[in-house]
Amino acid sequence: MTHQSSFFGHVNRNFDRAAALTRHPPGILDQIKQVNSLIHFTFPLKRDSGDVEVVHAWRAEHSHHKLPTKGGIRYAMTVNEDEVMALAALMTYKCAIVNVPFGGAKGGVRIDATAYSTAELERITRRFTFELFKKNFIGPGLDVPAPDFGTGGREMAWIADTYATLAPHDIDGLGCVTAKPVAQGGIHGRIEATGRGVFYALREICSQTEEMRPVDLPVGLEGKRVVVQGLGNVGSHAARFLAEGGAVVVGVVEYEGALSAPDGLDVEALLAHRRDTGSVLGFPGATALEERDAGLELDCDILVPAALENAITMDNAPRIKARIIAEAANGPVASDASEYLHERGVLVVPDAFINAGGVTVSYFEWLKNLSHVRFGRMEKRFEERSARQILTAIENATGTVFSDNQLREYSRGPDEIDIVNSGLEETMIQSWHEIREVRRRHEDRIDLRTASMVAAIDKIAVAYEDRGIFP
């Protein structure tokens, strides 16, 4: 089966370009590139009406160099074999880039989730979980799903509950899936993690003179004009955090239309307007564009495509005006368009790095489930007492008197959300500098996508060699 013009083909094209810059044996590179396991199965669904229809579903495990494998489950009519293979491969490279010890996986069910009742979606999700379990494609040490397009915490809770029924003696069973509701084994900060990770990454990138000079932008996030495509979970949180960080959201693109506001949009008010009306259109102070996709071509400093793949291709890449493109979605810029934009001097920050906040915090949730203790429970009070002792010593040595409010604020121990956000921030910043170091080794001749892929390949190859898989 040939995938050279497919989504998986684009991923492999990026892989091949990066692999040529490494010194690993061809056999190891070929193993890294392959999809390890793939299943396609069907099952019947009895609709609320009494009708029966056949549902198609897939799960791909791209790499077993680390276990468990990890990747989302999407409910969409576009789901197919090629898509889940491509997304599973991206998950492998993403986890390696941000030093999360998982192999990559992805799954999907070919349905339009909006066309089914809650009861029908629950039946689909539980049957999907049963099929995964029966085929040994789910478990805290095997394969750990998460949400993707069309799914969320509700579906993850159904998966966890179904797994617990099927494996009642698995004491670590809650770790079979991540992004669960907090009350059902989830972790604070997971919902907004991907959008927050986009913010952390862009803030760090924009703080670097050597990155801003080539794109002719001032250092710092303050005042940067941003356009966001897709106001789902990732795009809405990215827009919020970027606005809070000093950027100005001057445009948004959604399936119902696009808005332009050169003086900036009130992100919270816009999101409230969309919740109330079901559309971004009609928002006061913004101009609706005649063509939705023209929103991607608005004059801006940073474009954040946060919807689905192939939003930017060679058809519209020549009209893109952004100086920085942050791939908050998976594969929003086709590989040939990415090369073209790089040659034009546009800084394309690849998806395998910048949208890795979700899998990073999913990793924290998985660790929490395996350790059976929430973050902060053991150290919070100890750190508060230690901070109080330091503040008291300062008062005694300097004569300074802190108010009760100041003492509470300055000595507050970390809650789970503080620890999660700190770990996410560290992950995004450290990973960014690792990618930059790879690019420096190649004298800045390669783009960030290639540099990030080289970093991923190096780490995966070492993992295979350390496990003794190859002589």
Residues in the chain: 471
**Measured distance CA(368)–CA(378) in Å, rounded:** 13
Residue 227: CB atoms within 10 Å = 27
| Selected catalytic residue, list 66, 94, 106, 368 | 106
From 331, 325, 311, select the one nearest 86 (Cα to Cα).
331
Burial category of 189 from C-beta neighbours within 10 Å (exposed 0-12, middle 13-18, buried 19 and up): buried
Residue 309: CB atoms within 10 Å = 21
Burial category of 231 from C-beta neighbours within 10 Å (exposed 0-12, middle 13-18, buried 19 and up): buried
Q: Which residues of 365-401 are buried (b: 16+ CB within 10 A; e: fewer)?
A: bbebbeeeeebbeeebeeebeeeeeebeeeeeeeeee
Cis peptide before 68 (omega within 30 of 0): yes
From 141, 120, 145, 116, select the one nearest 132 (Cα to Cα).
145
Residue 135 annotated to the active site: no
**Tokens encoding 254:** 């959604």
283 near 276, Cβ under 8 Å?
Answer: no
- For the CA atoms of 108, 111, 115, 120, the dihedral, rounded to the nearest 10 degrees, stands at -70
Active-site annotation, residues = 106
